[in-house]
Amino acid sequence: TFQTNVLTELKKWKLSLIEHHKLQMRQEKEKHASHVRQLSNEMANLKELLRTYEISIGRKDEVITNLTKALERQKEKIELMRNFTLWRIQHIKAKQEEYANRIADRQFRTALMKKVWTAWRSHSEEKWKEKVAKACQLRAEDVCVQLTNDYEAKIAELTATLEQTKAEVLRLHSDREQYEATMKKAFMRGVCALNLEAMTMFQGK
């Protein structure tokens, strides 16, 4: 009986241990299952976060690619602008040099033409002066001859006029003398007539 009791107690104690062990195992399983669920949720969250990161990284890669392409395009554009600017500067320099050469040639031709013109003008002026001097001399001779002829003709005309005037003066003197003689005779006749009339009057009284 004691042994039976002991066996019974041992069995109870064994069953109790088994139940306790089962309870602990069930609790551990529940705890493990809870931990597994937590880990699964964390893994799901991490997967979602990883997917978000992947999308973000993909977008970043796309943005980086677009920026790289834009930078390449900008670089090409800047290179084109640089080449165009260099070409324009060279073109402007070439035009400036061409313009400067053209101005220099024009100034050289102008200076040369001035020299030629000055030399030709000096030569022409000398010839012209000689021609003018000869022409003036010939003209002066012609004028002197013409004036001499004119003065001789004028002198002849004035001489003839003077002779006519002298003759007219002589005629006028002659007429005056005749007029004075006539007037003297008339005066004397008048005086004689008055004298006779006076004598007649005196004799009558």
Q: State pLDDT tens for residues 180-197.
A: 888 888 888 877 877 777
Q: Is the pLDDT of residue 150 over 70?
A: yes
Band (pLDDT 50/70/90 cuts) for residue 205 is low
Q: How many whole angstroms separate alpha carbon 68 and alpha carbon 66?
A: 5
Confidence at residue 151, expressed as pLDDT on a 0 to 100 scale = 86
User: Average pLDDT over the chain, rounded to whole?
Assistant: 86
Annotate 124-155 with DSSP letters as a single string: HHHHHHHHHHHHHHHHHHHHHHHHHHHHHHHH
pLDDT at 41: 92
Q: What is the mean predicted confidence (pLDDT) over 76-94?
A: 91
- The dihedral built from the CA positions of residue 62, 63, 68 and 69, taken in this order, carries a sign that is positive
pLDDT of residue 45: 92
pLDDT band for 85, please (50, 70, 90 cuts).
very high
Report the share of the chain in percent with pLDDT over 70.
98
pLDDT at 204: 63
Per-residue pLDDT, averaged over 79-88, amounts to: 91
Q: Look at residue 14 in the predicted model and tell me its pLDDT.
A: 81
Q: List the Cα angle 81/83/85 in 5-degree steps.
A: 65
The whole-number average pLDDT for the span 16-27 is 85
CA atoms within 13 A on the CB side of 147: 6
Q: Is the pLDDT of residue 57 over 70?
A: yes
- The yes-or-no verdict on residue 90 having pLDDT over 70 is yes
Average pLDDT of the segment spanning 141-157: 88
Confidence at residue 127, expressed as pLDDT on a 0 to 100 scale = 81
- Name the band, by pLDDT with cuts 50, 70 and 90, for residue 112: very high
For residue 166, CA distances in Å to 116, 162, 180 come to 71, 6, 21
pLDDT score recorded for residue 195: 74
- Rounded mean pLDDT of 61-87? 90
